[in-house]
Structure 1
């Protein structure tokens, strides 16, 4: 006979196994759901995307730099950064031909492949962040990156860092659009792409994170700080994996800086501010000259390339990014006359290159201009005061930071880039003094930096601070009243009187049969006719309507609405489709504008402080 206890034990064994299996399945399911909830949190998602964006952006920046070197080798037989040494050995016709034909190709590519019909860079990133919630066209951005690469490759006197920033932003925007991220997340990821590109370009992770906050975001948002730093670090890791962890420039040894030298740094900052101002004004002056030529826009880079080649016949140092000549100035390998000659030639070359439509940035050229200015200034100062401890290389470094900061309008991140590029922090106070001084001088004269000037030339005024940008980001369509009371132009005055007395706003909108705004009638404008019919006669709404009232378009921003309300003294404006048909769409009220602005401002502050 079988043992009952054994049967009982064997009978319960499958139940225990089933319960254990069910428990394991339940645990697995809970872990999966827990992981999903964890990944759905904005912080976690942004952290993962920032890491991925930083690594890919670092890889793209490396590819961008190598692409430039490939074109230098192809067109100028130049193996490294010192492009001018190879150019000096070339026949004169090649020095003229390469930038001229290259400019022609660049112009045609811009005309045929870019919707904006102009080279794209950091200004477009700022515009996208401020006005388009971080959305940028992906494939157009990649085409712009190639055009920028080719521009530098054929010798245009422009920088590679601005295009790299644009490329990193395009990547980040592409990821956010692919994943359909909400606008706050998309904007933060855009800043991550910018930070990664800057850090990979300069081997400067700290400066990369601060550049994104100072130039693109416009403030150091607490919620964005962690993912931006993560992207910046990962971009640097990718760059260092390829190039190694070496400073871009090695500064010659110098003594401990005495506080007696600080006035010389301030004076250099003043000179750098004037130099940056002249450079910026010259770029846009060259742009006007190019636009005045009786030639199509796609031919402008070819004309600029020819002029660039003529300058390079005497001063090959002006071609390309210019880091080779900058390194020579830092090492004290250039005489005073050559420093001054290259300073003048480089500024002219940058004005022509950017003014005539080549693609590229402004940072590297401003570093080189600052190096020439600082090097020449150092030689002069040392001839007057031989005991100065900074040395010629020290003043060269200070000049680099001062001109670049004034040009970009980014004193904090520029100073950090200088420190991280050289690994030399002994000149910290000198660089900061010069940077602050030069930025103040340029702001006093122009009032803007290079990027906001570019946007202003395109009709996009982003000046005015963060609160103003909130107003500009909101559109009339977001706050307008779509069903206001209207009357026809042939409405008798007696009915107008009744309608306007019942109106809550004391204002009527006269709309024609085709939907076009005919005019407005205010209670105050009726005067005595508002309460008596003695003057009615055969008068209609058309006879007393104000034919040219202040109005706004549906696509206008709230800042323009507030400006028109202030100028006209009216709190209720008509909204039309456009200024051709004047099709009446509705009204916008001052109170609704302020309410929408306050809500958007509070939302942005909550986003900034992670509330």
Structure 2
């Protein structure tokens, strides 16, 4: 009896599924990381995190050849495996969660993992956490699809995969759980938060079983010298925010430059790889995820001049790789760039006010948190990562100040994050917050009614006047051949001539109709429908099969859209209180 009760307990089943997703994602992230290490070992002779030190001892031709040939393989892989031949990442996960019912393509998810492993393994200046997040989301979405779960539960399992991937990558379960809610899911519903935390912890346990309970970075003691340093930390946040804005513009300029060359998309990573190899001849620290470079910055092993040069080189290399078609994430590069910028800023601050500063290590951590916060749009998660890595409350407070300032700068000057900027360039605006997310989660098909007042195009004026008098909404939809929408007619659209009895046999509905009225398609989301109704001052809008055939299907009413929104809002609030 008790077993039967347990099997009918939805929360328990969801918790068990969260464990399954967490364990599977943790294993998948390990395979992804091992694949990257294997490709790096085959390419450079070692899987060391300190790739820059290794490359200094290699012949020049190998330094250029590996990223060039690797870029070619990446391009070919993307061409034949990925939709549209482009890399996929965190932005696609956010889009899936917000727009597509948390459904993800398994082939694309595995293909993205392979392309990312190749990109990182051959030295591309991209991160491995973004691909891990995409892979984790794919695992969660695939399990949800196989079990035919509801839209809400599918979103929860997708969030579980994301949380587990981040937690397994950084050995930081709290940050993983909050990253999934902050960046991907978009809100903190209590019924979803519990399984996401469970999955995050499960992924961490799998990672620790493989690699041990070690932090992602070798962080020593970095005390804060004085409370007067906090304004300097805020200033560092502003600097990181400005650099993050410049970084997004640079990625876009690289993309535009590649488009201007008219090269096939699959060739572009090879060209970029050759350039990256050329940079690596002088500054090999730009290659790969850069964790070794970050560790050196944390331990003050670079002089000020080298910090500035490496920051500029990493900035350029990452913009080239992301804009030129390499597959990978932006998390690791943002941490490396932030560490170098923070180290340089701290060196200057210590030189100006040596009596107030305890050293540059704290500035390196604040720079990492601030830069990652600005680029990822995740100030809470990045702050928690630092706390889980250091356990230092004062240092966490400093990171929080820098992260908030950097986030404010990039939101005021550019966009919410790198991922939302990518989505906005696809025509997807996800800036509306919780209310907009509820509207985007439903389509016009869910509120459309077929009970519309339609009249044939050839209907003469007497019949048209009678139909208007009997119309329930005061609007007629004029239909031509093959149910094609010709236009709409309201009493206000009819001229004085329409009431002249001498015109009764000369004018028909097609002559009177308002041509090219606003229309919606069944697949349009309710946010678009509500915006169109507001912009055009319409309370009812025709729904057509598509904008080419204009085949009339029914109509959408503003009252039905608002009713659907209210129902979704009640359900969401109930979910949060569950």
- Common fold by TM > 0.5: yes
Aligned 8 A contact 1:248 1:422 in 2: no
Alignment partner of 1:370 is 2:372: no
Identify if the C-alpha distance between structure 1 residues 35 and 529 changes in structure 2 by more than 3 Å, giving closer, same or farther. Answer: farther
Return the alpha-carbon distance in structure 2 between the equivalents of residues 567 and 176 of structure 1.
Answer: 38
- Number of the residue aligned with 1:391: 359
Query: Any residues of structure 2 matched to 1:296-445 within 5 Å, and which?
Result: 296-445=264-413
Which position in structure 2 is the counterpart of 1:597?
Answer: 565
Match for residue 250 of structure 1 among 218, 234, 237: 218
Conserved? CA contact 1:257–1:427, under 8 Å: no
What CA distance in whole angstroms lies between the structure 2 residues aligned with 1:97 and 1:424? Answer: 44
Aligned pairs (5 A) from 1:179-578: 179-526=147-494, 528=496, 533-578=501-546
Decide whether the 8 Å contact of 1:125 with 1:169 is kept in 2. Answer: yes
- Structure 1, residues 175-200: CA drift from partner, whole Å, max 9, x if none? 11111112111111111111111111
Distance 1:520 1:112 in 2: 47
Distance 2:566 2:240 in 1: 41
Matched position secondary structure for 1:575: strand
Q: CA deviation at 1:424?
A: 4.0
Question: Matched residues in 2 for 1:426 and 1:549: separation?
Answer: 60
Q: Distance in 2 between matches of 1:551 and 1:225?
A: 39
The Cα shift of 1:421 comes to 2.9
Per the TM alignment, residue 141 of structure 1 is displaced from its structure 2 partner at its CA by: 0.8
Which residue of 62, 70, 84 maps to 1:102? 70
User: 1:532 Cα shift?
Assistant: 5.7
**Are 1:103 and 1:151, in contact at CA under 8 Å, matched by a contact in 2?**
yes
**1:75-104: CA deviation from partner (whole Å, max 9, x where unpaired):** 011231001111111111111111111111
Q: Note the aligned Cα RMSD (angstroms).
A: 1.5
Cα deviation, residue 536, structure 1: 2.6
Which stretch of the first structure deviates more once superposed, 302-311 or 518-527? 518-527
> Which consecutive residues of structure 2, in runs of 5 or more, have no partner in the other structure?
none
CA deviation after TM superposition for structure 1 residue 390, in Å: 3.6
Query: Secondary structure in 2 aligned to 1:297?
Result: coil
Q: How far off is 1:419 after superposition?
A: 2.3
CA contact (8 A) 1:374 1:397 kept: yes
Task: Name the SS for the 1:266 alignment partner.
Answer: helix
Corresponding residue for residue 20 of structure 2: 52
Distance 1:186 1:143, change over 3 A: same
**Equivalent of 1:88, from 56, 76, 88?**
56
State the alpha-carbon separation in 1 of the partners of residues 169 and 274 from structure 2: 29
Aligned-partner Cα distance in 2 for 1:293–1:36 = 64
Please state how far the C-alpha of 1:570 moved relative to its aligned partner: 1.7
SS of the residue corresponding to residue 521 of structure 1 reads strand
Name the counterpart of 1:111.
79
**Cα drift, residue 37 of structure 1:** 3.2
CA distance in structure 2 between the aligned counterparts of 1:255 and 1:195, rounded to whole angstroms = 30
The change in CA–CA distance for 1:390 and 1:429 in structure 2 (over 3 A counts) is farther
Q: Does 1:76 align with 2:41?
A: no
Unaligned 5+ residue runs, structure 1? Answer: 1-30
> How much has 1:485 moved relative to structure 2?
2.4
Match runs of 1:90-169 below 5 Å: 90-169=58-137
Aligned partner of residue 509 in structure 1, secondary structure: strand
Say if 1:249 and 1:422, in contact at 8 Å, map to a contact too: no
Q: SS at the partner of 1:471?
A: helix
- How far residue 558 of structure 1 moved from its aligned partner, in angstroms, is 1.4
What SS does the aligned partner of 1:573 have? Answer: strand
Distance 1:406 1:562 in 2: 31
Change (3 A) 1:116 1:181: farther
Bigger Cα displacement from structure 2, 253-262 vs 147-156: 253-262
| Structure 2 contact 349–357 (Cα < 8 Å) conserved | no
TM-score by length of 2: 0.97
CA contact (8 A) 1:269 1:435 kept: yes
TM-score by length of 1: 0.92
Q: Which one has a bigger Cα radius of gyration?
A: 1
Distance 1:96 1:256, change over 3 A: closer
Tell me by how many angstroms 1:264 deviates: 0.8
Following superposition, the deviation at residue 48 of structure 1 comes to 0.5
Report how many residues are paired: 578
Whether the 8 Å contact between 2:224 and 2:362 is mirrored in structure 1 is no
What is the aligned partner in structure 2 of residue 14 from structure 1? none
Structure 1 residues 255 and 580: CA distance shift in structure 2, 3 A: closer
CA distance in 2, matches of 1:539, 1:139: 58
Which 10-residue stretch deviates more, 477-486 or 459-468?
A: 477-486
